[in-house]
Structure 1
Amino acid sequence: MPDGMITVRKVAGYTSSDVVAKLRGILHMKKIGHTGTLDPAAEGVLPVCLGNATKLCDLIADHDKEYEAVLRLGVTTNTQDMTGEILSAMEPSGVREQLEAAAAQEGSSVAEYIAAAASRFTGEIEQTPPKFSAVWINGKRAYDLARKGVDFEMPKRRVTIERLTITDITLPFVTFRVTCSKGTYIRTLCEDIGRALGVGGAMEHLIRTRVGIFTLDRALTLNELDILAHWQPEKITSDYLYPVDSFFESAPKLYVNAESQPYLDNGNPLSFANMEDHEDSLVRDERVRVFRNETKTPGSPVRVYNKEGEFYGIYRYDFTRKRLLCIRMFHEVAGARNNR
C-alpha cells in the first residue's frame, strides 16, 4: 500500500487505537497512525495515515472539525454522555414544562429559547473537559484516574466554536451541527447547553462528519476496507487514498533537476540552480520570486519533487541562507519500505 491517508468511518464501541490495530492487520502494514482520539461512543470520520504519511498526524489533528450531535435534555451523567452513571434525571414532560415556562418569561418559543442558549457557546469559549477523557494529567490519562477514584482537577481550555446550528428539536432531544477547533469536547458542550437551559443535559449520540479535507462521504468502515483489501486492493489506492502531497495542495510546486538528485536524497538545502523547468511547476519568474523571498507570505511552504515527479517533502525559503530548507521529508530511501 502506498504512503497516504485514508478516512475510516469509525463505529461506536471502537477506540481510535482499536481502529489502527485492526487496520495494521487488514493492510499488512506496521507504520499506521491516527490523527487524534475520537471517543469510543462516537462514530464517524477518523483520518488514518499510512507509511511516511504518519509524519502528518499532528498537522491533520490541528484542522477544524465538524460534528452532528444529539443532546438529551433533563439528564446529567459523570461522563457528560449517556454511557456514564446518571447523576440526575427529569421526566421528558417535566423538561418540556420547565422550558415552556422559561421561554414564556422571555416572550419566545421553546425553539427560540433553546437556540438563544446554544448561541452563547459560539466563538472562543472556555471548556472544562470531562474527567472521563483522554486528557493527560501528570503523565496519566484522566479516565484512568477517574476510574480509580482519584480526586483531581481538570484544567480549563480555550476552544473555538465557529458555527452551531440546531437542526431538530424533539424534546427531550436536540440535534445540532457544530464546526469547531481542535480540542473541543462536544460532550462538554452538551452539558453546558443543558445547564444554561436550567434542565441539565448529556450527549446522546455523536458522529464526526469532517476533519479538515477528510469527509464522511469518502470514508470506509473497517469491514469495507477488509473486503476491498482482499478483493480489490487497487480500488483503495485509486478511490480512497489521499496522496501525501494532496495535504499541501495550496503550496506551489518546485522540481529538482537530475544533477541535484543527491542533494534531494539527503535533504540538503536547495538553491535556484537546483531547480528544473516543469510544466506543473512554478514558471521561472515565480521561482525567482520564491528565491528572492518576494512571495505574498515570506517563508511560505513549497512542495518539492524530483525530475520524475516523485514528491519528496515540504521546504521553506530561508532568507539569510538564500536557500530552500527542508522542514518535513516524506520520501523514503530505496529498500526502506521492506522494513515497514
Structure 2
Amino acid sequence: MTEVKPVSGFLNILKPPGMSSHDVVGYVRRVLHTKKVGHAGTLDPAAAGVLPVAVGTATRLIEYLEITDKTYRAEIKLGIATDSGDDTGKILTSQLDWSDFDMSTLEQVLQKFTGKIRQTPPAHSAIKINGQKACDLLRAGKDVEVPSREVTIYRLELLAHSHDMLLIDCDCSKGTYIRSLCQDIGEALGVPATMAFLLRRRVGDFTAEAALTLEELAEAGEQALLPADKYLSSMQRFDLNPKREKAFCNGLSSTVKNFTAQTESLRVYADGHFIGVGRYDKEREELLPVKVLGR
C-alpha cells in the first residue's frame, strides 16, 4: 500500500473583513481535512488582507514568519478618538472642526514617524501582560497599563487626504500597531484620530496580489499549498552534505569549516530538498539543527 504523505506547506490567504484569524484557521481545517493548522500575525476581525497560514509540519515554522516586515494600508479618521484605537470602539473624544492641513504640514508630521519610533500598543489588543492578553484583562474589568516599545517604520506614504481622512501606506517592523500609529499621527496634528480601516498588503514574502480568497482556496484545495522554504527567503541557504542528512534529522550537529553565517537562522537543504532550519556555531564550527522537518 502506498504511504500517503500528510499535507504540509504554507497558504497565502486573503482574510475578509468580519472574520477572525481563528475563523480562517477553522475554515482551512475543514477544506483540507486536517487539524494541524496555524496562522502567523493575527489580524483583527474588522481588518482585511494577507494572513499566512501554515499546515502540517510547516506549523513549526510560524515563528519565522511572525518576525518578518509587513506592509499596511490604513485609513485614518480625523475628529474622533476611541478606546480601542479603531472605529469599532467607544468614542472618547470628538472634535467637530479644525483648519484643513496643507500637504507640507502632513508630510512633515509623517516624517516624524519614519525610522525608529516608540509607540504604546492599544490596551484593546492581544499583547500579553504577565502572560495574559491585555484585551482579556480589560474585559475582566482590570486596569491595564501597556508598556511602550520601539518599532521601525521603514516607509510612510500619504496616498490621499481630505478634511477628515488620511490614507497611508506603511512598511514596518514586527510588533508595529497601526492603530497606535494612527492615533499618534492625529495627536501630532492636534486632532483626535482613529483607524477607520486596515488592509495588510504584505507579510514578508506573502503579498496581497498573490493571496487566495477563501472561495479560491475551497476550489484549489491541497493544490493551493506553497513550499515552506520559498517563504523563508530572509534566511541564508545552507546546502548540507547529503551524507549528514540522517544525522541532522536525528538532531545531531555536523562539522562545517570555513563558513560565514549571514543570518542567525539558516534554511538547510540536502540533495536540493529542504529539510529544516539550522544554526551555525562559529566557535565550534558546527551546524546545529533547530527545526527538523525531513523530506
Correspondent of 1:74 among 79, 82, 89: 79
CA distance in 2, matches of 1:300, 1:223: 35
CA RMSD of aligned residues (A): 2.2
Equivalent-residue separation in structure 1 for 2:205 and 2:130 (angstroms):
33
The equivalent residue for 1:251 is 236
Gaps of 5+ in 2: 1-5
Aligned 8 A contact 2:82 2:194 in 1 = yes
Maintained 8 Å contact 1:74/1:89: yes
- Shift in alpha-carbon separation, 1:28–1:87, aligned structure 2, 3 A: same
Equivalent residue in structure 1 for 2:251, among 225, 250, 267:
267
Once the 2 structures are TM-superposed, how far is the Cα of residue 218 of structure 1 from its aligned partner? 1.1
Could you list the per-position Cα deviations for residues 162-216 of structure 1 after superposition, in whole angstroms to 9, with x for gaps in the alignment?
1100000122111010011111111111111111111110011100000110000
Q: Which has the larger radius of gyration?
A: 1
The residue identity in structure 1 corresponding to 2:269 is V
> Which residue among 94, 111, 121 is the counterpart of 1:119?
111
CA distance in 1, matches of 2:249, 2:153: 43
Contact 2:265–2:277, Cα closer than 8 Å, also in 1? no
* C-alpha distance 228-111 of structure 1, shift in aligned 2 (>3 A): same
Deviates more, 1:158-167 or 1:316-325: 316-325
Change (3 A) 1:113 1:247: same
Determine helix, strand or coil for the equivalent of 1:252: strand
Q: Which of 264, 273, 276 is the aligned partner of 1:313?
A: 276
| Farther off after superposition, 216-225 or 173-182 | 216-225
Any residues of structure 2 matched to 1:34-49 within 5 Å, and which? Answer: 34-49=39-54
Secondary structure at the counterpart of residue 289 of structure 2: strand
Aligned match for 2:203, one of 206, 211, 214: 211
- Matched residue SS, 1:202: strand
Question: What is aligned with 2:3?
Answer: none
Quote how far apart the aligned CAs of 1:322 are: 4.2
Q: Percent identity?
A: 40
Relative distance call for 1:262 and 1:56 in structure 2 (3 A) is closer
Residue pair 1:304, 1:315 contacting (<8 A) in 2 also: no
Tell me which residue corresponds to 2:258.
Answer: 293
Letter in 2 for 1:207: L
1: CA distance, partners of 2:18 / 2:62: 22
Structure 2 counterparts to residues 126-145 of structure 1, below 5 A: 126-145=118-137
Secondary structure (helix, strand or coil) at the match of 2:11 reads strand
> Gaps spanning 5+ residues in structure 1: where?
104-109, 272-290, 333-340
Distance 2:121 2:26 in 1: 27
CA distance in 1, matches of 2:127, 2:93: 25
Aligned residues: 289
Instruction: Give per-residue Cα distances to partners, 1:24-65, cap 9 Å, x unaligned.
Output: 111111111111211111110011111111111111100110
Deviations 1:66-122 (A, max 9, x none): 00000011111111110011122233xx2xxx234xx6xxxxxx2221222222111
2:174 counterpart of 1:189: no
Distance 1:329 1:115 in 2: 47
More strand by share: 2
Match of 2:22 in 1: 17
Normalized per residue, the structure richer in helix is 1
Residue aligning to 1:90: 95
**What one-letter code is carried by the residue in structure 2 that aligns with 1:252?**
R
| Distance verdict in 2 for CA 1:79–1:220, change over 3 Å | same
